Structure 1
Amino acid sequence: MAEAEAKVLPEATVARLTHYLRALNALEAQGLERTSSGVLAKEAGVNPAILRKDLSWLGSYGTRGVGYVVRELAEHINNTLGLNRDWRVLILGAGNLGRALSGYAGFAIRGFKVQAILDVDPAMIGSRVGQLQVEDSRDLASVVEREEINIAVLAVPGQAAQDLIYELSDLGVNSVLSFAPKPLVVPRGMNVRRVDLSTELQILAYLAVQS
Protein backbone atom coordinates (compact mmCIF):
# COMPACT_ATOMS: atom_id res chain seq x y z
CA MET A 1 0.00 0.00 0.00
CA ALA A 2 1.34 3.46 -0.86
CA GLU A 3 2.55 5.56 2.02
CA ALA A 4 0.15 8.38 2.99
CA GLU A 5 1.27 11.81 1.85
CA ALA A 6 2.25 14.29 4.54
CA LYS A 7 -0.31 17.00 5.16
CA VAL A 8 0.56 20.37 3.70
CA LEU A 9 -0.63 22.95 6.20
CA PRO A 10 -2.21 26.24 5.06
CA GLU A 11 0.30 29.08 5.12
CA ALA A 12 -1.81 31.06 7.61
CA THR A 13 -1.83 28.06 9.97
CA VAL A 14 1.95 27.71 9.73
CA ALA A 15 2.33 31.41 10.59
CA ARG A 16 0.07 31.03 13.63
CA LEU A 17 1.92 27.91 14.80
CA THR A 18 4.97 30.10 15.35
CA HIS A 19 2.86 32.30 17.66
CA TYR A 20 1.57 29.27 19.56
CA LEU A 21 5.11 28.01 20.01
CA ARG A 22 6.26 31.37 21.38
CA ALA A 23 3.29 31.40 23.77
CA LEU A 24 3.96 27.82 24.91
CA ASN A 25 7.60 28.63 25.61
CA ALA A 26 6.50 31.63 27.68
CA LEU A 27 4.01 29.50 29.63
CA GLU A 28 6.66 26.86 30.29
CA ALA A 29 9.03 29.57 31.53
CA GLN A 30 6.32 30.49 34.04
CA GLY A 31 6.38 26.92 35.34
CA LEU A 32 3.04 25.83 33.82
CA GLU A 33 2.80 22.18 32.77
CA ARG A 34 -0.70 22.34 31.27
CA THR A 35 -2.77 25.00 29.56
CA SER A 36 -6.22 25.37 28.01
CA SER A 37 -7.09 26.43 24.48
CA GLY A 38 -8.52 29.65 25.92
CA VAL A 39 -5.33 30.59 27.75
CA LEU A 40 -3.07 29.60 24.87
CA ALA A 41 -5.22 31.49 22.37
CA LYS A 42 -5.12 34.61 24.54
CA GLU A 43 -1.33 34.39 24.88
CA ALA A 44 -0.99 33.96 21.12
CA GLY A 45 -3.51 36.70 20.29
CA VAL A 46 -5.98 34.54 18.34
CA ASN A 47 -9.54 33.25 18.69
CA PRO A 48 -9.75 29.91 20.60
CA ALA A 49 -11.78 28.35 17.77
CA ILE A 50 -9.05 29.23 15.27
CA LEU A 51 -6.41 27.79 17.59
CA ARG A 52 -8.30 24.51 17.97
CA LYS A 53 -8.76 24.28 14.19
CA ASP A 54 -5.05 24.93 13.60
CA LEU A 55 -4.00 22.31 16.14
CA SER A 56 -6.41 19.78 14.63
CA TRP A 57 -4.03 19.66 11.66
CA LEU A 58 -1.41 18.21 14.01
CA GLY A 59 -3.60 15.43 15.39
CA SER A 60 -5.19 15.10 18.84
CA TYR A 61 -2.98 16.78 21.43
CA GLY A 62 -5.57 18.17 23.81
CA THR A 63 -7.93 16.49 26.29
CA ARG A 64 -11.37 17.93 26.95
CA GLY A 65 -11.49 19.37 30.46
CA VAL A 66 -7.74 18.93 30.90
CA GLY A 67 -6.21 20.95 28.08
CA TYR A 68 -2.75 20.63 26.57
CA VAL A 69 0.53 19.44 28.03
CA VAL A 70 2.71 22.49 27.38
CA ARG A 71 6.03 20.76 26.68
CA GLU A 72 4.47 17.97 24.61
CA LEU A 73 2.58 20.39 22.37
CA ALA A 74 5.62 22.68 22.02
CA GLU A 75 7.78 19.73 20.94
CA HIS A 76 5.18 18.62 18.41
CA ILE A 77 4.94 22.10 16.89
CA ASN A 78 8.75 22.22 16.81
CA ASN A 79 8.80 18.96 14.87
CA THR A 80 6.02 20.08 12.53
CA LEU A 81 7.86 23.31 11.70
CA GLY A 82 11.13 21.44 11.20
CA LEU A 83 12.82 23.25 14.10
CA ASN A 84 14.27 19.98 15.37
CA ARG A 85 16.69 20.07 12.43
CA ASP A 86 20.06 21.80 12.23
CA TRP A 87 19.47 25.05 10.30
CA ARG A 88 22.68 26.67 9.12
CA VAL A 89 22.23 30.20 7.82
CA LEU A 90 24.26 32.26 5.35
CA ILE A 91 23.77 36.03 5.12
CA LEU A 92 24.57 37.64 1.77
CA GLY A 93 25.24 41.35 2.16
CA ALA A 94 27.29 42.85 4.99
CA GLY A 95 25.77 46.32 4.94
CA ASN A 96 23.77 47.76 7.82
CA LEU A 97 20.88 45.32 7.37
CA GLY A 98 23.06 42.24 6.96
CA ARG A 99 25.12 43.14 10.03
CA ALA A 100 22.00 43.74 12.09
CA LEU A 101 20.53 40.40 11.02
CA SER A 102 23.74 38.53 11.80
CA GLY A 103 23.60 39.79 15.37
CA TYR A 104 19.91 39.04 15.95
CA ALA A 105 19.76 36.83 19.04
CA GLY A 106 16.34 35.47 18.08
CA PHE A 107 17.89 33.30 15.35
CA ALA A 108 19.95 31.19 17.75
CA ILE A 109 17.13 30.94 20.29
CA ARG A 110 14.89 29.42 17.61
CA GLY A 111 17.54 27.05 16.30
CA PHE A 112 18.94 29.04 13.37
CA LYS A 113 22.72 29.45 13.51
CA VAL A 114 24.33 32.12 11.33
CA GLN A 115 27.42 30.40 9.95
CA ALA A 116 28.81 33.01 7.54
CA ILE A 117 28.30 36.45 6.02
CA LEU A 118 29.46 37.42 2.52
CA ASP A 119 29.82 40.65 0.54
CA VAL A 120 31.22 41.89 -2.78
CA ASP A 121 32.73 45.11 -1.39
CA PRO A 122 36.53 44.81 -0.89
CA ALA A 123 36.22 47.35 1.95
CA MET A 124 33.86 44.98 3.78
CA ILE A 125 35.68 41.72 3.12
CA GLY A 126 37.85 40.73 6.07
CA SER A 127 36.02 42.96 8.58
CA ARG A 128 34.45 41.46 11.69
CA VAL A 129 30.73 41.16 12.33
CA GLY A 130 30.40 39.77 15.84
CA GLN A 131 32.11 36.37 15.80
CA LEU A 132 32.13 36.21 12.01
CA GLN A 133 34.54 37.56 9.42
CA VAL A 134 33.01 38.91 6.21
CA GLU A 135 34.01 36.69 3.30
CA ASP A 136 34.09 37.30 -0.45
CA SER A 137 30.82 36.57 -2.29
CA ARG A 138 32.89 35.01 -5.06
CA ASP A 139 33.57 32.18 -2.58
CA LEU A 140 29.85 31.42 -2.27
CA ALA A 141 30.10 27.81 -3.47
CA SER A 142 32.96 26.90 -1.14
CA VAL A 143 31.30 28.59 1.85
CA VAL A 144 28.00 26.77 1.23
CA GLU A 145 29.86 23.45 1.10
CA ARG A 146 32.14 24.19 4.06
CA GLU A 147 29.38 25.37 6.37
CA GLU A 148 26.69 22.98 5.06
CA ILE A 149 24.37 25.95 4.50
CA ASN A 150 20.67 25.15 4.08
CA ILE A 151 19.11 28.63 4.46
CA ALA A 152 20.26 31.90 2.88
CA VAL A 153 19.26 35.46 3.75
CA LEU A 154 19.54 38.08 1.00
CA ALA A 155 20.33 41.59 2.25
CA VAL A 156 21.45 42.90 -1.14
CA PRO A 157 19.99 45.11 -3.95
CA GLY A 158 17.39 43.70 -6.33
CA GLN A 159 19.48 42.61 -9.33
CA ALA A 160 22.18 41.14 -7.12
CA ALA A 161 19.47 39.20 -5.27
CA GLN A 162 18.14 37.76 -8.52
CA ASP A 163 21.60 36.61 -9.61
CA LEU A 164 22.16 35.03 -6.19
CA ILE A 165 18.83 33.19 -6.33
CA TYR A 166 20.04 31.30 -9.41
CA GLU A 167 23.44 30.59 -7.84
CA LEU A 168 21.92 29.34 -4.60
CA SER A 169 19.51 27.12 -6.51
CA ASP A 170 22.42 25.57 -8.42
CA LEU A 171 24.18 24.95 -5.10
CA GLY A 172 21.15 23.21 -3.61
CA VAL A 173 20.21 25.97 -1.15
CA ASN A 174 16.46 26.07 -1.70
CA SER A 175 15.25 28.04 1.34
CA VAL A 176 15.79 31.81 1.07
CA LEU A 177 14.65 34.86 3.01
CA SER A 178 14.88 37.95 0.80
CA PHE A 179 14.95 41.59 1.85
CA ALA A 180 15.51 42.68 -1.76
CA PRO A 181 13.17 45.57 -2.77
CA LYS A 182 11.71 43.72 -5.78
CA PRO A 183 9.92 40.46 -6.63
CA LEU A 184 12.28 37.71 -7.73
CA VAL A 185 12.01 35.01 -10.37
CA VAL A 186 12.22 31.82 -8.35
CA PRO A 187 13.37 28.48 -9.83
CA ARG A 188 11.11 25.47 -9.39
CA GLY A 189 11.65 23.73 -6.05
CA MET A 190 12.97 26.83 -4.26
CA ASN A 191 11.12 28.45 -1.37
CA VAL A 192 11.61 32.22 -1.10
CA ARG A 193 10.01 34.41 1.56
CA ARG A 194 10.11 38.13 0.80
CA VAL A 195 10.22 40.81 3.46
CA ASP A 196 9.49 44.25 1.97
CA LEU A 197 10.04 46.79 4.74
CA SER A 198 8.95 49.78 2.63
CA THR A 199 5.63 48.11 1.79
CA GLU A 200 4.98 47.38 5.46
CA LEU A 201 5.65 51.03 6.33
CA GLN A 202 3.29 52.17 3.58
CA ILE A 203 0.55 49.92 4.98
CA LEU A 204 1.15 51.38 8.45
CA ALA A 205 0.90 54.88 7.01
CA TYR A 206 -2.45 54.05 5.40
CA LEU A 207 -3.80 52.51 8.63
CA ALA A 208 -2.67 55.54 10.62
CA VAL A 209 -4.53 57.88 8.25
CA GLN A 210 -7.71 55.77 8.55
CA SER A 211 -7.69 55.61 12.36
Structure 2
Amino acid sequence: MSQQRHGNTPGKTGAVPAFPDLPEATIARLPEYLRALHNLAETGADTVSSEGLAAAAGVNSAKLRKDLSHLGSYGTRGVGYDVALLIDQIEYILGLDQRRAVALVGVGNLGHALAGYDGFASRGFRIVALFDADPERVGKPINGLLVRHIDELGRAVVEEGITIGVIATPAGAAQGVADELVTAGVTSILNFAPCVLSVPAGVDVRKVDLAIELQILSFHEHRKASLTALPGGRAEQAGNQEAVGS
Protein backbone atom coordinates (compact mmCIF):
# COMPACT_ATOMS: atom_id res chain seq x y z
CA MET A 1 0.00 0.00 0.00
CA SER A 2 1.15 3.50 -0.73
CA GLN A 3 2.49 5.53 2.18
CA GLN A 4 2.03 8.77 0.22
CA ARG A 5 -1.40 10.32 0.54
CA HIS A 6 -2.74 13.58 -0.84
CA GLY A 7 -5.97 13.54 1.08
CA ASN A 8 -8.03 13.05 -2.08
CA THR A 9 -11.53 11.76 -1.56
CA PRO A 10 -14.35 11.36 -4.06
CA GLY A 11 -15.93 14.72 -4.81
CA LYS A 12 -12.82 16.83 -4.20
CA THR A 13 -10.67 18.43 -6.86
CA GLY A 14 -8.32 15.94 -8.51
CA ALA A 15 -10.07 12.97 -6.96
CA VAL A 16 -11.83 10.07 -8.61
CA PRO A 17 -15.32 11.04 -9.82
CA ALA A 18 -18.48 9.11 -8.99
CA PHE A 19 -17.63 5.41 -9.01
CA PRO A 20 -17.07 4.56 -12.69
CA ASP A 21 -18.57 1.63 -14.57
CA LEU A 22 -15.33 0.10 -15.84
CA PRO A 23 -14.93 -2.47 -18.62
CA GLU A 24 -13.75 -5.85 -17.33
CA ALA A 25 -10.58 -5.61 -19.43
CA THR A 26 -9.72 -2.28 -17.78
CA ILE A 27 -10.31 -3.71 -14.30
CA ALA A 28 -7.95 -6.59 -15.12
CA ARG A 29 -5.18 -4.15 -16.12
CA LEU A 30 -5.46 -1.77 -13.15
CA PRO A 31 -3.45 -4.03 -10.79
CA GLU A 32 -0.63 -4.09 -13.38
CA TYR A 33 -0.62 -0.29 -13.51
CA LEU A 34 -0.61 -0.16 -9.72
CA ARG A 35 2.33 -2.58 -9.47
CA ALA A 36 4.30 -0.50 -11.98
CA LEU A 37 3.45 2.74 -10.16
CA HIS A 38 4.60 1.35 -6.81
CA ASN A 39 7.88 0.31 -8.41
CA LEU A 40 8.29 3.83 -9.81
CA ALA A 41 7.48 5.39 -6.43
CA GLU A 42 10.12 3.22 -4.77
CA THR A 43 12.73 4.63 -7.17
CA GLY A 44 11.74 8.19 -6.21
CA ALA A 45 9.81 9.05 -9.38
CA ASP A 46 7.22 11.80 -8.92
CA THR A 47 5.79 11.73 -12.44
CA VAL A 48 5.66 9.26 -15.33
CA SER A 49 4.71 9.60 -18.97
CA SER A 50 1.98 7.43 -20.45
CA GLU A 51 4.64 5.73 -22.61
CA GLY A 52 6.83 5.03 -19.59
CA LEU A 53 3.97 3.64 -17.50
CA ALA A 54 2.64 1.59 -20.40
CA ALA A 55 6.06 0.02 -20.98
CA ALA A 56 6.41 -0.78 -17.26
CA ALA A 57 2.94 -2.39 -17.23
CA GLY A 58 3.39 -4.25 -20.52
CA VAL A 59 0.58 -2.57 -22.50
CA ASN A 60 0.46 0.00 -25.30
CA SER A 61 0.20 3.65 -24.33
CA ALA A 62 -3.10 4.28 -26.16
CA LYS A 63 -4.79 1.49 -24.19
CA LEU A 64 -3.34 2.82 -20.93
CA ARG A 65 -4.55 6.38 -21.59
CA LYS A 66 -8.05 5.09 -22.37
CA ASP A 67 -8.08 2.95 -19.21
CA LEU A 68 -6.98 5.82 -17.00
CA SER A 69 -9.47 8.20 -18.59
CA HIS A 70 -12.22 6.05 -17.04
CA LEU A 71 -10.79 7.10 -13.67
CA GLY A 72 -10.88 10.77 -14.62
CA SER A 73 -7.09 10.83 -14.86
CA TYR A 74 -5.67 12.33 -18.05
CA GLY A 75 -2.18 13.39 -17.00
CA THR A 76 -0.58 16.71 -17.86
CA ARG A 77 0.81 17.41 -21.31
CA GLY A 78 4.59 17.52 -21.20
CA VAL A 79 4.66 16.25 -17.60
CA GLY A 80 2.71 12.99 -17.52
CA TYR A 81 0.92 11.47 -14.54
CA ASP A 82 1.47 12.28 -10.88
CA VAL A 83 2.64 8.91 -9.52
CA ALA A 84 1.35 9.31 -5.95
CA LEU A 85 -2.01 10.70 -7.07
CA LEU A 86 -2.51 7.92 -9.61
CA ILE A 87 -1.67 5.31 -6.95
CA ASP A 88 -4.35 6.85 -4.74
CA GLN A 89 -6.90 6.84 -7.56
CA ILE A 90 -6.31 3.23 -8.56
CA GLU A 91 -6.22 2.01 -4.96
CA TYR A 92 -9.54 3.74 -4.33
CA ILE A 93 -11.14 2.12 -7.40
CA LEU A 94 -9.78 -1.31 -6.42
CA GLY A 95 -10.99 -0.81 -2.85
CA LEU A 96 -7.47 -1.03 -1.47
CA ASP A 97 -7.81 2.09 0.67
CA GLN A 98 -9.23 -0.33 3.23
CA ARG A 99 -7.39 -3.52 4.13
CA ARG A 100 -9.51 -6.51 3.12
CA ALA A 101 -9.85 -9.39 5.56
CA VAL A 102 -9.40 -12.76 3.86
CA ALA A 103 -10.16 -16.32 4.95
CA LEU A 104 -8.11 -19.18 3.49
CA VAL A 105 -9.71 -22.63 3.42
CA GLY A 106 -7.43 -25.62 2.83
CA VAL A 107 -3.88 -25.58 4.17
CA GLY A 108 -2.32 -28.41 2.21
CA ASN A 109 0.82 -27.73 0.18
CA LEU A 110 -0.66 -24.88 -1.87
CA GLY A 111 -2.69 -23.41 0.98
CA HIS A 112 0.30 -23.50 3.31
CA ALA A 113 2.35 -21.59 0.74
CA LEU A 114 -0.42 -19.00 0.27
CA ALA A 115 -0.77 -18.56 4.03
CA GLY A 116 2.93 -17.78 4.31
CA TYR A 117 3.07 -15.35 1.38
CA ASP A 118 4.01 -11.89 2.65
CA GLY A 119 3.05 -10.14 -0.59
CA PHE A 120 -0.66 -9.99 0.26
CA ALA A 121 -0.14 -7.53 3.10
CA SER A 122 1.72 -5.04 0.92
CA ARG A 123 -1.13 -5.10 -1.60
CA GLY A 124 -3.98 -4.35 0.76
CA PHE A 125 -5.02 -7.77 2.04
CA ARG A 126 -4.61 -9.58 5.32
CA ILE A 127 -5.28 -13.25 5.82
CA VAL A 128 -7.02 -13.28 9.18
CA ALA A 129 -8.17 -16.89 9.43
CA LEU A 130 -7.08 -20.32 8.20
CA PHE A 131 -9.38 -23.34 8.00
CA ASP A 132 -9.13 -27.04 7.29
CA ALA A 133 -11.15 -30.17 7.96
CA ASP A 134 -8.14 -32.42 8.63
CA PRO A 135 -7.74 -32.94 12.40
CA GLU A 136 -3.97 -33.27 11.91
CA ARG A 137 -3.80 -29.72 10.52
CA VAL A 138 -6.27 -28.02 12.85
CA GLY A 139 -4.50 -26.22 15.68
CA LYS A 140 -1.17 -25.99 13.86
CA PRO A 141 0.39 -22.49 13.56
CA ILE A 142 1.13 -21.03 10.13
CA ASN A 143 2.60 -17.56 9.79
CA GLY A 144 1.27 -16.49 13.19
CA LEU A 145 -2.24 -17.95 12.77
CA LEU A 146 -3.65 -21.18 14.17
CA VAL A 147 -5.50 -23.35 11.69
CA ARG A 148 -9.15 -23.54 12.71
CA HIS A 149 -11.69 -26.25 11.94
CA ILE A 150 -13.98 -25.48 9.02
CA ASP A 151 -16.94 -25.65 11.44
CA GLU A 152 -15.76 -22.32 12.90
CA LEU A 153 -15.98 -20.54 9.55
CA GLY A 154 -19.34 -18.83 10.10
CA ARG A 155 -18.36 -17.32 13.42
CA ALA A 156 -14.97 -16.18 12.14
CA VAL A 157 -16.50 -14.40 9.13
CA VAL A 158 -18.64 -12.29 11.45
CA GLU A 159 -15.93 -11.67 14.06
CA GLU A 160 -13.22 -10.75 11.56
CA GLY A 161 -15.37 -8.94 9.00
CA ILE A 162 -14.29 -11.33 6.23
CA THR A 163 -15.70 -10.66 2.75
CA ILE A 164 -13.18 -12.59 0.62
CA GLY A 165 -12.54 -16.32 0.80
CA VAL A 166 -9.71 -18.27 -0.82
CA ILE A 167 -10.32 -21.94 -1.60
CA ALA A 168 -7.22 -24.12 -1.82
CA THR A 169 -8.85 -27.49 -1.22
CA PRO A 170 -9.02 -30.57 -3.48
CA ALA A 171 -11.64 -30.24 -6.23
CA GLY A 172 -14.05 -32.61 -4.52
CA ALA A 173 -14.34 -30.40 -1.45
CA ALA A 174 -14.41 -27.00 -3.17
CA GLN A 175 -18.14 -26.68 -3.87
CA GLY A 176 -19.03 -27.55 -0.29
CA VAL A 177 -16.53 -24.98 0.97
CA ALA A 178 -17.94 -22.38 -1.43
CA ASP A 179 -21.44 -23.08 -0.11
CA GLU A 180 -20.23 -22.60 3.47
CA LEU A 181 -18.46 -19.36 2.59
CA VAL A 182 -21.57 -17.98 0.90
CA THR A 183 -23.79 -19.03 3.79
CA ALA A 184 -21.41 -17.30 6.19
CA GLY A 185 -21.72 -14.05 4.23
CA VAL A 186 -18.62 -14.09 2.02
CA THR A 187 -19.36 -12.40 -1.30
CA SER A 188 -16.07 -12.84 -3.20
CA ILE A 189 -14.16 -16.10 -3.72
CA LEU A 190 -10.74 -16.83 -5.19
CA ASN A 191 -10.78 -20.48 -6.24
CA PHE A 192 -7.54 -22.45 -6.67
CA ALA A 193 -9.35 -25.80 -6.87
CA PRO A 194 -9.50 -27.29 -10.39
CA CYS A 195 -13.27 -27.12 -10.76
CA VAL A 196 -16.11 -24.76 -11.63
CA LEU A 197 -18.08 -23.43 -8.67
CA SER A 198 -21.80 -22.74 -8.60
CA VAL A 199 -22.62 -19.63 -6.58
CA PRO A 200 -25.67 -17.37 -6.29
CA ALA A 201 -25.99 -14.00 -8.00
CA GLY A 202 -24.08 -11.32 -6.16
CA VAL A 203 -21.12 -13.58 -5.36
CA ASP A 204 -18.02 -13.04 -7.49
CA VAL A 205 -15.63 -15.90 -8.24
CA ARG A 206 -12.15 -15.71 -9.74
CA LYS A 207 -10.53 -18.98 -10.77
CA VAL A 208 -6.79 -19.67 -10.72
CA ASP A 209 -5.80 -22.98 -12.34
CA LEU A 210 -2.04 -23.37 -12.70
CA ALA A 211 -2.43 -26.54 -14.79
CA ILE A 212 -4.53 -24.65 -17.34
CA GLU A 213 -1.89 -21.94 -17.60
CA LEU A 214 0.76 -24.61 -18.23
CA GLN A 215 -1.46 -26.24 -20.86
CA ILE A 216 -1.76 -22.89 -22.65
CA LEU A 217 2.02 -22.53 -22.61
CA SER A 218 2.26 -26.10 -23.91
CA PHE A 219 0.07 -25.07 -26.85
CA HIS A 220 2.45 -22.22 -27.67
CA GLU A 221 5.43 -24.57 -27.47
CA HIS A 222 3.63 -27.04 -29.74
CA ARG A 223 2.79 -24.29 -32.21
CA LYS A 224 6.37 -23.04 -32.33
CA ALA A 225 7.65 -26.57 -32.92
CA SER A 226 5.07 -27.10 -35.67
CA LEU A 227 6.00 -23.86 -37.41
CA THR A 228 9.65 -24.83 -37.26
CA ALA A 229 8.88 -28.15 -38.94
CA LEU A 230 6.78 -26.66 -41.76
CA PRO A 231 8.29 -26.12 -45.25
CA GLY A 232 10.07 -22.78 -45.11
CA GLY A 233 10.23 -22.95 -41.32
CA ARG A 234 13.29 -22.22 -39.22
CA ALA A 235 14.62 -25.77 -39.43
CA GLU A 236 14.46 -25.78 -43.24
CA GLN A 237 15.92 -22.28 -43.43
CA ALA A 238 18.81 -23.32 -41.24
CA GLY A 239 19.39 -26.37 -43.45
CA ASN A 240 19.38 -24.20 -46.57
CA GLN A 241 21.88 -21.81 -45.05
CA GLU A 242 24.17 -24.71 -44.17
CA ALA A 243 23.90 -26.03 -47.73
CA VAL A 244 24.79 -22.61 -49.15
CA GLY A 245 27.76 -22.29 -46.85
CA SER A 246 29.16 -25.75 -47.63
Structure-1-length-normalised TM-score: 0.94
Distance 1:127 1:6 in 2: 42
Match of 1:72 in 2: 85
1:15 to 28, 50, 53: 28
Match of 2:151 in 1: 138
CA contact (8 A) 1:165 1:186 kept: yes
Match of 1:162 in 2: 175
**Aligned ranges for residues 106-121 of structure 1 at < 5 Å?**
106-121=119-134
CA contact (8 A) 1:61 1:73 kept: no
1:95-125 CA-to-partner distances (Å, cap 9, x unmatched) read 0111100111110010100101100001111
Match of 1:183 in 2: 196
Query: Is 2:45 the partner of 1:32?
Result: yes
What displacement does 1:208 show? 1.3
- Which protein shows a greater Rg? 2
- Root-mean-square deviation (CA, aligned residues, Å) is 1.4
CA contact (8 A) 1:89 1:114 kept: yes
CA contact (8 A) 2:153 2:184 kept: no
Runs of 4+ more than 3 Å apart: none
1:148-197 CA-to-partner distances (Å, cap 9, x unmatched) read 21111000122321112222222211011001111111111100101111
CA contact (8 A) 1:166 1:187 kept: no
Segments of 5+ residues of structure 2 without an aligned counterpart are 1-16, 225-246
1:188 aligned counterpart, secondary structure:
coil
Amino acid at match of 1:93: G
| Corresponding pairs, count | 208
Segments of 5+ residues of structure 1 without an aligned counterpart are none
Percentage of pairs with the same residue: 50
What displacement does 1:5 show? 7.5
Query: Is 2:96 the partner of 1:89?
Result: no
